[in-house]
Amino acid sequence: MYKSSDVRIVHLEVTSLCNAGCPMCPRHVDGKVNPDLPLEQLTLDDVRRILPAATVRALDKVYLCGGYGDAIAARETLEILAYLRAENPSLRLGIHTNGGARSAAWWREVAALRAYGRFAIDGLEDTNHVYRIGVRWDVLMRNVEAFIGAGGAEWVFIVFAHNEHQVDSAHDLSRALGFRRFDVKTSSRFFDAERAADRHWDVLDETGSVAYTLSPPHAARHRHPAVVRADEIVRRHGSVRAYHQSCEIACKAVADRSVYVTAGGLVFPCCWLGGDLYTPRRPMRTRQIWQVLSQLTGGERALDGRIGGIAAIVDGPFFQQTVREGWQPGDRRLLTCGGTCASGLNRSDAQLLERHEHRITSRRRT
């Protein structure tokens, strides 16, 4: 595992609060806010303790991105961004957001700090709200235009069945508005590892009744690779879960030299591991990570960056022993690591993926 002196990227989640109600986000369960999720936010003082000036100066990138919340819902986001920029003028600084809150003036201030904005916009005016529930298109466009007018922006588009036909039109709109980048994202949240197949997702209203259903895209190029690979992985390994338990792991956090900080100040290697603290849809992973934390001296407080910064945590036993041991096949394997960083280091599975990609390409030509 890397040492604290190696860390170059920090993924900072400043709050678990959010203005939106995206149905597949772990912040929501059965149409309501996840009852297990603590609603919290980091203050500027918290961030100064977690990332002291000397640490910030050694970093290449800090981005504010929520696994549960959106930075635009936190009280001191602008002040946090200003602190990071003041301590490291060359830092790549960013905010990942649904863009549906705050004033145009606030967004111009963010851009003035030379922060990039990565806007999650899943469709056009008639479809974005189907997934980004609660985000008004007029507010979103006002904020985007204010931000782009003072800086630069990126558009990330998650593809569903209901917006699949709009990918090209959205790309055209992104160019017209002045976005510098447009990324199409395939979601793994439709994938059911137990059945090794896609599922549909019912969206519930306030009464608990099904309002409508989200479905995965139809085109193979818009579907997650896990689905494309699943049939032969099951044939070869018996099940997707068995594959996750035995595969080699290529830790993305190690490759990026990155850490993730939760809205409660806890420091993890990545948002997948830290993000499984409150995921009732993945009960085995949640139970396991809390069991692991309970075995640390001091419990979860052993990972609280507000106590002494990230360095002691990264150089401590959780990163250097617990996580590393969790990459080994067998009973001690961390389920999140197996499910997220199952690696193309397995040559046979890398070749399998290549065959599927070729098959998909061939289908598109016909």
Which H/E stretch holds residue 324? Answer: helix 324-325
Q: Predicted confidence band at 105 (pLDDT cuts at 50, 70, 90)?
A: very high
Of 5, 221, 12, 8, the closest CA to residue 96 belongs to 12
As a whole number, mean pLDDT of residues 288-308 equals 96
pLDDT above 90 covers a percentage of the chain that reads 71
Q: Predicted confidence band at 191 (pLDDT cuts at 50, 70, 90)?
A: low
Whether residue 364 is predicted with pLDDT greater than 50 in this model: the reply is: no
Please tell me the predicted confidence (pLDDT) of residue 366. Answer: 27
As a whole number, mean pLDDT of residues 32-37 equals 93
Please tell me the predicted confidence (pLDDT) of residue 3. Answer: 96
For 88, counting Cβ atoms within 10 Å of its Cβ (0-12 exposed, 13-18 middle, 19+ buried), the class is buried
Q: Is 331 helix (H, G, I), strand (E, B) or coil?
A: coil
Average pLDDT of the chain?
88
Say how far apart CA 10 and CA 92 lie, in whole Å: 11
Whether residue 72 is predicted with pLDDT greater than 90 in this model: the reply is: yes
Q: Predicted confidence band at 220 (pLDDT cuts at 50, 70, 90)?
A: confident
Please tell me the predicted confidence (pLDDT) of residue 356. Answer: 36
Q: How far is CA 50 from the centre of its chain?
A: 20
Least confident of 95-99, 139-143, 149-153, 203-207: 149-153
User: Higher model confidence: residue 200 or residue 19?
Assistant: 19
Say how far apart CA 135 and CA 133 lie, in whole Å: 6
Whether residue 355 is predicted with pLDDT greater than 70 in this model: the reply is: no
User: Higher model confidence: residue 176 or residue 354?
Assistant: 176
Say how far apart CA 142 and CA 318 lie, in whole Å: 44
Please tell me the predicted confidence (pLDDT) of residue 197. Answer: 56
Task: Please name the residue that has the structure tokens 């090209």.
Answer: 168
Please tell me the predicted confidence (pLDDT) of residue 281. Answer: 81
Four-CA torsion 143, 89, 266, 269, nearest 10 degrees: 100
Own/partner contacts of 172-181, CB < 8 Å, gap of 24 or more, are 173/124, 177/144, 177/145, 177/148, 178/148, 178/153, 179/119, 179/148, 179/152, 179/153, 179/154, 179/155, 180/152, 180/153, 180/154, 181/154, 181/155
Q: Is 124 helix (H, G, I), strand (E, B) or coil?
A: coil
Whether residue 346 is predicted with pLDDT greater than 50 in this model: the reply is: no
Tokens of 267: 């420091």
Whether residue 345 is predicted with pLDDT greater than 50 in this model: the reply is: no
Whether residue 352 is predicted with pLDDT greater than 50 in this model: the reply is: no
Please tell me the predicted confidence (pLDDT) of residue 280. Answer: 82
As a whole number, mean pLDDT of residues 123-141 equals 98
